[in-house]
Amino acid sequence: MATNNSWNNRVTNANVLFTGGTFDVGTDATNNDINIGTNTNTLRIVTIGNTIGTSQTNINAANGGLNVIVGNSGNASYSIDNNYVLTTSVGTVSINAASTINIGDQATNANINIGTGGTRTCTIGSTTATSATTVACGTGGASFGASANSHTTTLGSSTGTSTTNMSAGTGGMSITTQGSGTLTINSVTGALSISNNANATTVNIATGAAAKTTTLGSTNTTSTTTIQSGSNPLTLTTNGGNANIVLTANGTGRVTTANNINAAGISFDSGTNTLNSYTRGNWTCTITGSGSNPTVTYTDNSGTYLKIGRLVWAEMFIRVNTISGGSGNVVLNGFPFTTSASSARAAVTVSGITFTGAPYIFMNSNATTAGVQFSTSGSTPTALAVSSLAASSYLQFTVIYEASS
């Protein structure tokens, strides 16, 4: 036993060794093991250091490492009043147990810092067999890679059948990139699913108030993009200005649909001209007089129409069953769309009517009515009078005219 200075010592009946100065054990240059309380035949409590005042206890290790080992059923417990430091210059500090290792498991409110100094690689959890790693937090939240330094944060593994789950309660989950960074979510060969469970919910993509460019689908030759809707309609909307919805098929492809597309217009020249209407249906015609209206019943009164844009194609076949009263010229009423300021004419086939010349109908401007006239060369056209109609008289015509809208 060597000392750095002279000291007095004595051993009491309680086997207590006292020194008034520095007490050195194993400080010489000889390579020897130093064992304290290692007898396996006796139960011992080994205490190193004290908690009085500014006392300090240092445990150092070189390249061989520092090991704290607990038996099969024991616990390694450290109660610290102030600071407790395990330091190694270049070696490894290992804390191992055959059972559970607890750090900061007491009820005291305190911070636990792991790897917060210097440049370090910190690993938490094991990749061995069925190992599991749980990171839990209370209402204070959990932060990963939240420091101000530029860095890469990786969650989960792409090895084998590894699974990474990120869940949130009613507070929601936010994934945000600041500045010009890109948020990328990829799947190698499997499906990438968003809200594919059975819960009723709303899925919003790029709905923020800022200006955004949103792209769905890939232009790869064999790629397929499907947008589905249930019994409610699928709505494509542009807000404000004169923004257009453009459906483009590259190459020789076509834009097709098995159902209806409701749109304010379709343009084939980048919006210069817009086809904003297509409709078809049936219509009926009534005969009135320019002076007074006759009483008319009909054997046949059926017409069809087709409207593309402002162009109207109307067809009518009308046969009189009975007619009485009325005066003036015949007026045909009930055309499906109001005419524009420009009137239109069309040939008409008549029967059961005495006339001279070529019969035709002329559309009245800004109206849904037409008259019937007979044209002879070099003469003023003659209008068809109500009195000229009789039972079985009929008119059949097809007219094309421009609607006001």
User: How many domains is the chain partitioned into structurally?
Assistant: 2
Name the phi and psi angles at 391, rounded to 5: -60, 135
CA distance 254 to 100: 66
CA distance 372 to 290: 12
Is 268 domain-assigned?
no
Is the CB of residue 368 less than 8 Å from the CB of residue 360?
A: no
Is 173 domain-assigned?
no
Tell me the sheet residues that pair with 103: none
Structural domain span for residue 301: 280-402
- pLDDT tens digits in sequence order for the chain, 405 residues long: 454 444 445 445 555 555 566 767 777 788 878 888 787 777 778 788 777 877 877 777 766 666 666 565 555 555 555 555 666 666 676 777 667 778 877 777 878 888 777 777 878 887 777 787 887 777 777 777 777 677 777 777 767 777 777 777 777 777 777 767 777 887 777 788 888 888 888 888 888 888 888 888 888 878 888 888 788 777 777 776 566 666 666 666 666 666 666 667 777 777 788 888 899 999 999 999 999 999 999 999 999 999 999 999 999 999 999 999 999 999 999 999 999 988 799 999 999 998 889 999 999 999 999 999 999 887 899 999 999 999 999 999 999 999 999
Domain boundary among 99, 130, 162: 99
Domain boundary among 99, 128, 159: 99
Is 196 domain-assigned?
no
Alpha helix positions (H), 98-155: none
Is 106 domain-assigned?
no
**Residue 335: CB atoms within 10 Å:** 23
Is the CB of residue 348 less than 8 Å from the CB of residue 396?
A: yes
CA distance 115 to 113: 7
**Element counts in the chain: helices (H) and strands (E):** 0, 16
Tell me the whole-structure pTM to 2 decimals: 0.47
Is 235 domain-assigned?
no
- Among 218, 300, 297, 279, smallest CA distance to 403 is for 279
Is 300 domain-assigned?
yes
CA distance 76 to 86: 15
- Among 319, 331, 317, smallest CA distance to 386 is for 331
Is 295 domain-assigned?
yes
Domain boundary among 67, 99, 131: 99
Is 50 domain-assigned?
yes
Is the CB of residue 320 less than 8 Å from the CB of residue 299?
A: yes
For residues 68, 73, 76 and 77, what is the CA-based torsion angle, rounded to 10 degrees?
-170
Q: DSSP character for 365? A: T
